[in-house]
Amino acid sequence: MPMDHTDVLTSLRRIIRTVNLESKRIEKEHGISIPQLLCLNFLKDRPSYQASQKEIKDVLSLNASTVTGIINRLEKKGLIAKLPRRDDRRVANISLTAKGLSLMQETPEPMHLRLTENLGKLSDSELQELRKAFRLISDFLGAGAIDASPILTSETTINKGKSEQEWSNE
């Protein structure tokens, strides 16, 4: 008699729904997207609240054009500022503003940080089992070819890897 696999599908739907609801809640309550929140969170933890665009791109594991869009939207909201470097005026440091810091003190810890913390509590064998299970599910879904960031956002989950910029342009 075949085993029932409904619980696996239900768990997967719950995960997707949780990511989507978190994204909508952050957007509604704070007026920023999850990738924008993650950018601000990274700047908050940096010395002098500053980083280069490349550093932001590398930490968020997003492409340069997506990070440019995130930075432009945050700058329009007054949450960050671009500060030209003295040694190279073509390059700017991205700096968290007082308004951005204030917003970061109001926002909850991003879901991926809670997930990372909980994953860190697993034993090596438990983590290996989890990796194997997710790899298998990913293969079943044919998701191996989709470019994925380690950051969970509803944009990447719902829209099969579209960037925030591509999503907002639709």
1 falls within a domain = no
List the CATH number of the domain containing 28. Answer: 1.10.10.10
Burial 26-49 (b: 16+ CB within 10 A, else e): beeebebbbbbbbbbbbbeebeeb
The CA distance from 109 to 161, in Å, is 23
39 three-class SS: helix
Task: Tell me the per-residue pLDDT of 103-156, one tens digit each, with 9 for 90 and over.
Answer: 998 887 778 778 888 999 999 999 999 999 988 888 888 876 665 555 544 444
117 falls within a domain = yes
Q: What is the pLDDT of residue 166?
A: 41
The CA distance from 73 to 67, in Å, is 10
Query: How many domains is the chain built from?
Result: 1
56 falls within a domain = yes
Task: Tell me the per-residue pLDDT of 43-65, one tens digit each, with 9 for 90 and over.
Answer: 999 989 999 999 999 998 888 89
Q: What is the pLDDT of residue 146?
A: 62
Domain of 106 in residue numbering reads as 6-168
